[in-house]
Every structure is written in C-alpha cells, then in structure tokens.
Amino acid sequence: MLNDGPLTIDRREGKNPGTRVFCLSGPLTLRNLFELQTELRGSEPPPMTVIDLTAVPYMDSAGMGLVMNTYVRCQTRGVKFVVAGANSRVMDLFKVTKVDSVLPLVATVEEADA
C-alpha cells in the first residue's frame, strides 16, 4: 500500500472573473482530503471551479468521490466545473469507473480557464 503524503491546496483566482482554481499537490485520498472537502462544501461555488490535478500522483475512491460530489454540486447550482491535468494513473481510474464520460476533463488549467 502506498504511504499517503500530505495534500497541499493552492487556491487562486483564474484569468476570467469568477473562476477559482484549486491547485492540488500530493495524493488525493481518504486520509488527507478533509480540508479540501470542507472548503468545497463550505460556501457557494463560484461561477467556475477548476480542480488542477497536475501534481496529484494518485487518488483513491474517496478522492474520486469528492471530485464527483463537487461536480454534481456545481451542476445543481448551474455553475461550471472542470478537472485539469489528470495524469495517466488518475485518468485510468476515471476511465475504469466511466466518470471520464461525465466529468469535463482538460489537459491544462490554461485550457480550462480559456
């Protein structure tokens, strides 16, 4: 089993007004997702939320559940949600579970923020 390192969250505004980008670094797993979960659920989502997974080496089902929950929450409020920068390991998880056909996925934050 992989040893879970810390998850760091860098929050910033995107180029477009109303875009918030969450740049994650580290594994997104049950052991370390609670700070992100609290922040994502704690207030109304901005007009566009981008989750940048470029520096996330892997995620477990709880991490994927948080991403999907955030996507659904944004959808029900009529706001945009995009996942950027997922590596091949994370993409494999999305493909096996078929959420790649539901989640808006882009290669880079710049593409999401365009």
User: What is the domain partition of the chain in residue ranges?
Assistant: 8-107
Please enumerate in sequence order all residues whose Cβ is within 8 A of that of 62, keeping only pairs 6 or more positions apart, or say none: 29, 30, 33
**Packing angle between helix 61-76 and helix 34-42, nearest 10 degrees?**
10
**Per-residue pLDDT tens for 46-104?**
999 999 999 999 999 999 999 999 999 999 999 999 999 999 999 999 999 999 999 99
Single pTM value for the model: 0.91
DSSP designation for 99: G
pLDDT at 2: 53
Residue 1's pLDDT band (cuts 50, 70, 90): very low
Measured distance CA(13)–CA(19) in Å, rounded? 6
DSSP designation for 16: S
Q: Are 84 and 51 spatial neighbours (Cβ–Cβ below 8 Å)?
A: yes
CATH superfamily assigned to domain 8-107: STAS domain (3.30.750.24)
